[in-house]
Amino acid sequence: DAGVTQSPTHLIKTRGQQVTLRCSPKSGHDTVSWYQQALGQGPQFIFQYYEEEERQRGNFPDRFSGHQFPNYSSELNVNALLLGDSALYLCASGAGLLNSPLHFGNGTRLTVT
């Protein structure tokens, strides 16, 4: 039973560039959420996707956007990267809008220089 998978595992980008992170949910899950975890902090909610629509959004600027595909996989896009965007980006999946419990991938470590 495949868990949540994310790619790539590590990424280094330059300020001002754009990045795309990818996530495949756990088998049987159809809801995908993205979280940003800065060093020494807990995960902060970015947004949630269900049925290919953004269902709720945390306190993140429009530079952060996403997409969910018909096979439930998802992408997170960040434009005009800032140094402060350096973090571990976690994808979590759940079943339907009950969204419980969340299962996490191992994350993508993004470094912006």
Task: Please give the residue ranges that form the binding site for other proteins (CB under 8 A).
Answer: 4, 6, 33, 35, 40-45, 48, 50, 55-56, 90, 92, 97-107
Q: Is the distance from CB of 64 to CB of 76 less than 8 angstroms?
A: yes
At 72, is the secondary structure helix, strand, or coil? coil
Closer residue to other proteins (CB): 16 or 56: 56
Q: How far is the CB of 56 from other proteins (least distance, A)?
A: 6
CA-to-CA dists, residue 55 to 5, 10, 29, 41, angstroms: 21, 28, 16, 25
CA-to-CA dists, residue 100 to 9, 31, 85, angstroms: 25, 10, 28
Closer residue to other proteins (CB): 35 or 64: 35
Q: How far is the CB of 43 from other proteins (least distance, A)?
A: 5
Closer residue to other proteins (CB): 6 or 68: 6
Q: How far is the CB of 74 from other proteins (least distance, A)?
A: 15
Closer residue to other proteins (CB): 71 or 100: 100
- Dist CA 104 CA 102 (whole Å): 6
DSSP label at residue 73: -
